[in-house]
A and B are shown apart, each in its own frame.
Chain A
Amino acid sequence: MRPFEEELKSLNGALQEMGALVAQSIHRAVMALVEKNEDYAHQVVRDEARINQCEIQIDDLATTLIVRESPVAGDMRFLVGAIKINTDLERMGDMAVGIVERAFTSLHQSDLPMEVGFTEMGNLVESMVLTSLDAFVARDAKLAQSVITSDDAIDKIRNTITRQMIDIMKKEPSMVERALDYVLIARRLERIADHATNIAEDVIFMVKGIDVRHRVTAGNPISQ
Chain B
Amino acid sequence: MPIKTTPRNRWRNAVNDVMLSLTAVCAFLTVSALFTILGYLLYNGGKSVDLNFFTKLPLAPGQDGGGMANAIVGSATIVILASVIGLPIGFFAGIYLAEFSPKKFGFLIRYTADLLNGVPSIIIGIFAWTVVVRPFHQFSALAGSLALSLMLIPITARGTEQFLLEVPRTMREGALALGAPMWVTIMTVIVPAARKGIMTSMILGVARISGETAPLLFTALGNQFWADGLMQPTASLPAMIFTHATAPYDDWHRQAWAAGLVLLGLVFVANITARMIVSRGASLPK
A–B direct touch in complex (beta carbons closer than 8 A): no
Residues of B within 8 A of A (CB): none
Residues of A within 8 A of B (CB): none
